[in-house]
Amino acid sequence: MQNRFQDLLRLVIAQLAQVRTVPPACAVAAGVALGWPAGAVAQVVTEFNIPTTVTSDPYRIAAGPDGALWFTEQFANKIARIDTMGNITEFAISTVDSRPWGITNGPDGALWFAENSGTKIGRIDTAGNITEFALPIGDFPLDITTGPDGALWFTAFSGKIGRMTTAGVLTNEFSIPTVNSQPWGIAVGPDNALWFTESSGNKIGRIDTAGNITEFALPTAGSSPRSITAGPDGALWFGEAAANRVGKITTAGVITEFAILANSNTQVITVGPDNNLWFTVNSPAGGNGNRIGRITTSGTVTEFVIPTASSGSQGITSGPDGALWFTESSANKIGRVTTAGTFSEFPVPSRATSWPFSLVTGPDNNLWFAEYFGDKIAQITTAGVITEFNIPTSSSFPRNITSGPDGALWFTESAATTIGANKIGRVTTAGAFTEIHNSHRKQRSVGHSYGTGQ
């Protein structure tokens, strides 16, 4: 893959959206069917069409310092800003086919992002001014985070950890001693060092702000560590994608691996309300998944079998009620498990193939989730009462959902080939939708393909 550099920066601000509305009578009828007063739902669903690509691939999204949401568009080659009124402004990245990947809030009040194919680190301020900083050819930056020293630190798939100041000065790239280590995730540890995973090197690395690297080999060969996070116990916790294990490493470099059943795949890990780590376990056909796992900070693993067989557990999050809530994609249910391991399951009212995916606690202290094939966003109370809201665009394939800074829920509509989809959606806690539509079409280019590791 060629690295393309351009000297001129180009800033493209999208035109204001054309507005399409759903008749108020339809919105009222839907609300009354749910038992709401007509006056409470006498509002329209509005979709904002703006000129961006149907295959833009909105990828990572983050709340910015300006109260808006910012996201990367991998195939459209843009960084976009959505305000809480649903207005989108897009900013084109000068480098062709840069494939913006990770995005994070920087210490300078700007957003910083990694251009995986462009081999650059980008900075965009809240006014939309983009500056790009070239990296050595072939770096392929992947993940990025703010370090304890106020600089930006990133993983380069080529086998390096990079440090860049907020002035855009690449102070150094530190080569990882292990050849072909392919570093993936990076996180700040409680010891004010950066910790990272080596997906091919099969190690966990630590780098201090002076650039001194220490590597710790994982006991299990070929485990492929991916994402990493700071745990509640002062240690770093990570998933081993190919080894049926969850790992823990102390800041002294002591590694403990906790095995789950063979032929199982750890999906998502989160810190629970009991300060233990909880994770979903899926499995290939004939495997031993279909469980919710708990790891105490002392390393004791307990696995709880989900009542419904082959449920396809995916996302997991701590609920406002002190329990863990998770999605059962294959079983079309939302699950709840107490910290004692007691399950409740709630069938999603939609068709059996609605495929509930990501799950998040909303600003109303209910759980909200996306129905990937159901084309709906749903709310479930801690009593298990589910209310579903139809997304105006059909075949939108909603995937990731998060609470926004405006008290609403924001989600991605990930369909890449469906006309009218490929949007960022917003839904209020009353069920009122706004969709922001990208309409320019661009061919997907062939390049490196990486999994998310979660």
> What is the distance between the alpha carbons of residues 280 and 273, in angstroms, rounded to a whole number?
16
Mean pLDDT of the region 386-412: 85
DSSP-derived secondary structure for 342-382: -EEEEE-SS-TT--EEEEEE-TTSSEEEEETTTTEEEEE-T
| Closest to 378 measured CA to CA, from 356, 400, 393 | 356
pLDDT digits (tens, 9 = 90+) for 315-343: 676 777 888 887 776 776 768 899 999 99
Residue 25 per-residue DSSP state = H
Specify the range with the lowest mean pLDDT, choosing from 106-110, 181-185, 375-379: 375-379
215 vs 300, residue with greater confidence? 215
H or E element: which one contains 407?
none
Q: Is the pLDDT of residue 18 over 60?
A: no
Determine the pLDDT at residue 446. Answer: 24
- The residue-averaged pLDDT of 442-453 equals 29
Per-residue pLDDT reduced to its tens digit, 106-163:
999 998 998 999 999 999 999 999 999 999 988 899 888 889 999 999 999 999 999 9
Q: Answer yes or no: is pLDDT of 358 > 60.
A: yes
Task: Please write down the HEC assignment for all residues of 71-108.
Answer: EEECCCCEEEEECCCCCEEEEECCCCCCCEEEEEECCC
Domain 18-438 coded CATH 2.130.10.10: yes
pLDDT digits over 59-89, tens only? 565 567 887 667 777 777 888 776 545 456 7
Please say whether the beta carbons of 243 and 261 come within 8 A: no
pLDDT at 56: 57
Give SS3 for 181.
Answer: coil
**pLDDT recorded at residue 105:** 82
More confident residue, 366 or 421: 366
Q: Which residues pair with 186 in a beta bridge?
A: 196
- Please say whether the beta carbons of 274 and 264 come within 8 A: no
Amino acid 83: pLDDT: 57
**List of residues 6+ apart from 37 with CB closer than 8 A:** none
CA–CA gap between residue 389 and residue 384 (Å, rounded): 16
CA distance readout (Å), 338 to 308, 329, 379: 16, 20, 19
Q: What average pLDDT does this structure show over 92-111?
A: 88
The backbone torsions φ and ψ at residue 30, rounded to the nearest 5 degrees and listed phi first, read -65, -40
Per-residue pLDDT reduced to its tens digit, 247-279 = 999 999 999 998 776 666 776 677 788 999 888
What residue segments make up the domains of the chain, in order of their start? Answer: 18-438
The alpha carbons of the chain give a radius of gyration, in whole angstroms, of: 22
Between 174 and 261, residue with greater pLDDT:
174
Mean model confidence pLDDT for the chain:
76
